[in-house]
Structure 1
Amino acid sequence: MTEKLLTPSLNKGFVKPERDYLTCCVDWFQLTIWDVSPQVVCEEILGIPFNLMQNDYEAGMTNYSPFVCFDDIRIMTPRHDPERQGLQLVMKGQGCRQFEVHLNSQGITWVDFFARCFQYRVNVPRVDFAIDDRKTYLKMKSVKKKVASGHYRGDLNIASPKGDMNLADGTSRGEGVTFGGTASNVRIVFYEKNYERALKTGNEKQLDEAWNRYEIRLRQEKAVEAIKRLVNRKETIATIAFGVLAHYICFIVPDKENKAKRKSRLEVWKPWAEFMKDVESVKLVVEPGGRNFSDFMAYLMAQVACNLKVLRAVEDAVGQNYLDTMIEQAQLKPRHENLVETFVREIHTKEIETDVPLESWKSQYRK
Structure 2
Amino acid sequence: MEQDGWILQFRREREQNGISRKAVAAVAGVSREYLCRVETGKMPLTDQMQKRLAAALKALYPEPLNLMIDYVRIRFSTMDVRHIIEDVLRLKMKYFVQEDHGFYSYSSMYVLGDVTVMTSPDEEKGVLLELKGKGCRQFEAYLNGQKRSWYEFFRQCLDEDALFKRIDLAINDRAGILNIPFLCDKCDRGECISVFRSFKAYRSGELVRSREENKASMGATLYIGSMQSDLYFCIYEKDYEQLVKQGVPIEDAEIKNRFEIRLKNDRAYHAVYDLVSGESPENTAFGIINRYVRFVDRDDSKPREDWPMNQMWAVFIGAHRERLKLTTAPEPYTVQKTLNWLSHQVAPSWKMLLELDRKCGTNVMEEMLAVTELADKHRKIIEQQLLSVGEVIVSE
**Distance between the aligned counterparts of 2:324 and 2:190, measured in 1?**
29
Q: Give the match for residue 254 of structure 1.
A: 298
Give the conservation status (yes or no) of the 8 Å contact 2:281–2:324.
no
The 1-side partners of 2:149 and 2:221 are apart by: 31
Find out whether 1:177 has 2:219 as its counterpart: no
1:222 counterpart = 2:267: yes
Residue 140 of structure 2 corresponds to residue 140 of structure 1: no
Aligned mate of 1:113, from 153, 156, 174? 153
Would you say 1:237 and 2:277 are equivalent positions? no
Decide whether aligned partners of structure 1 residues 264 and 235 sit closer, same or farther in structure 2, where only a CA change above 3 A counts: farther
Counterpart secondary structure, 1:104? helix
What does residue 34 of structure 1 align with?
Answer: 77
Which one of the candidate residues 105, 108, 124 is aligned to 1:63? 105
- TM (norm. structure 1) is 0.70
CA contact (8 A) 2:116 2:131 kept: yes
1:45-194 → structure 2 map (5 Å cutoff): 45-56=88-99, 60-78=102-120, 82-165=122-205, 166-167=208-209, 169-171=212-214, 172-194=217-239
Cα 1:62/1:212, change in 2 over 3 Å: same
Letter of the aligned partner of 1:237 in structure 2?
A: P
- Give the C-alpha shift of residue 200 in structure 1: 1.4
Match of 1:198 in 2: 243
In structure 2, distance between residues paired with 1:152 and 1:114: 33
Contact 2:65 2:172 in 1 (8 A): yes
Report the AA paired with residue 196 of structure 2. L
Paired positions, count: 288
SS at match of 2:67: strand
CA displacement 1:243-282 (0-9 Å, x = unmatched): 2111111111111xx3322x22110111101111256622
The structural deviation recorded for 1:207 is 5.6
Give aligned-pair identity as a percent: 26
Residue 174 of structure 1 contacts residue 192 of structure 1 at CA under 8 Å; is this kept in 2? yes
The amino acid across from 2:305 in the alignment is S
Give ranges in structure 1 of 5+ residues lacking alignment. Answer: 1-14, 290-298, 307-312, 331-367
Q: 1:303 to 1:23 in 2, by over 3 A?
A: farther
1:238 shift after superposition: 3.4
Q: Give, in angstroms, the shift of residue 326 of structure 1.
A: 7.6
Alignment of 1:241-320 (within 5 A): 241-255=285-299, 258-261=300-303, 263-278=304-319, 281-288=323-330
Superposed CA offset, 1:284-315 (max 9, x none): 111326xxxxxxxxx68677999xxxxxx99x
Letter paired with 1:177: L
Q: Distance in 1 between matches of 2:125 and 2:174?
A: 41
Unaligned stretches of 5+ residues in structure 2 = 1-17, 20-59, 340-373, 392-396
Instruction: Tell me how far apart the structure 2 counterparts of residues 280 and 220 of structure 1 sit (CA, whole Å).
Output: 31
Cα deviation, residue 21, structure 1:
1.5
- Give 1:183 shift: 2.2
Offset of residue 151 of structure 1: 0.5
Displacement of 1:88 after TM fit?
Answer: 1.0
Greater shift in the superposed pair: 114-123 or 23-32: 114-123
Residue 65 of structure 1 deviates from its aligned partner by 3.7
